[in-house]
Amino acid sequence: MSHKFSRIIQGCMGWGIWGSDLSESEMVRRIHHCLEQGITTFDHADIYGDYTTEAAFGKAFISSGVKREDIQVITKCGIQYVGNTRDNEIKHYQYDAEYIIWSAEKSISDLKVDYLDLLLLHRPSPLIQPDEVAKAVDKLTSEGKIKSFGLSNFTPSQTELIASRSKVSANQIEFSITAFEAMWDGSLDHMMLNNVTPMCWSPLGTVFKENNEQTKRIHEVLDELVRKYDASKDQLLLAWILKHPSGIHPVIGTATPERITKASEAVTIDLSEIDWFRLLVASQGHKVA
């Protein structure tokens, strides 16, 4: 891809009212902190914070004094969310050309940028029409409003459908030690074959959220590896993802500076093949076939 993204991407959903609800000055500090750690890519979606988080980030970005060319901005569109800011009677998806263009332009305005480095369709809709998508992508691209285009949560066949009309540069999917189906269902193979950059949300999976047999097994292996690699558990879970040959970019959700720093350091951990498989086996609960 012509447009380079940092290997670790900072997800901004948790920076707004759906998470830590950072003040403008706190957001400015987080932006600078990310850049100091080599994290230059910021991931958004129009719906975050009930359509308020992009604007909050935009204000902070202007206040930060950071140059536009020093960061990469990703956002997503297409989910019509039921909240306080839009008159939607049911959560649904909308992908007509006019709406995609309007949504991208609104994000550009809210984020206080002249262009998006990457625009993603947030989730696949059964009613999506590739020609409508292409009409929007062509217009936004020719006007310099988007540098590249991609998808989020699309299967290989859904990706093929959109790619039949528009160049798909990235696909952001769920992937982690506890959600690794993308390795078996063809998703990551398909991205490698088609030069699509994989990004993954929720990269720590359920390891710190749930206490069950699976997570207990994973923690047992992690307890050993923490000592062996002199690394924290969250760093090892990121290193596990980073080892996959497709070159996945984890999208981290934290707003805590210390955790952002740790995540950025995970790129230096070279997990051995054996230890990679030990974590996989612990998660699966059985040996590989």
Q: What is the pLDDT of residue 1?
A: 38
Q: Is residue 215 very low, low, confident or very high in pLDDT (cuts 50, 70, 90)?
A: very high
Q: What is the pLDDT of residue 2?
A: 39
Residue with tokens 């960061």: 71
Residues catalogued as catalytic: 48
Query: 146 - beta bridge partners?
Result: 116
Structure tokens that stand for 203 in this block: 């990269």
Q: Which whole-number Å values give the CA distances from 70 to 13, 32, 35, 38, in the listed order?
A: 21, 11, 9, 11
pLDDT digits over 96-139, tens only? 999 999 999 999 999 999 999 999 999 999 999 999 999 999 99
Q: In which region does residue 151 sit, left (phi positive, over 0), alpha (psi from -120 to 50) or beta (all else)?
A: beta
| Across 221-247, average pLDDT | 98
Residue 216: pLDDT over 60:
yes
Taking the C-alpha atoms of residue 285 and residue 287, their distance in angstroms, rounded to an integer, is 7
Residue 169: pLDDT over 90:
yes
Residue 289: pLDDT over 60:
yes
pLDDT digits over 49-106, tens only? 999 999 999 999 999 999 999 999 999 999 999 999 999 999 999 999 999 999 999 9
Q: What is the radius of gyration, based on Cα positions, of the chain?
A: 19
| Across 24-44, average pLDDT | 98
Taking the C-alpha atoms of residue 204 and residue 177, their distance in angstroms, rounded to an integer, is 7
Taking the C-alpha atoms of residue 23 and residue 178, their distance in angstroms, rounded to an integer, is 33
Ordered structural domains, the chain, with CATH:
9-209+244-267 (3.20.20.100)
Residue 191: pLDDT over 80:
yes
Helices 233-242 and 273-284, axial angle in degrees (round to 10): 110
Residue with tokens 């969250």: 234
Average pLDDT, the chain: 97
Q: Which whole-number Å values give the CA distances from 123 to 2, 105, 235, in the listed order?
A: 24, 19, 28
| Across 141-153, average pLDDT | 98
Taking the C-alpha atoms of residue 112 and residue 200, their distance in angstroms, rounded to an integer, is 25
| Across 231-238, average pLDDT | 98
Q: What is the pLDDT of residue 3?
A: 57
DSSP, collapsed to helix, strand or coil, labels residue 197 as: strand
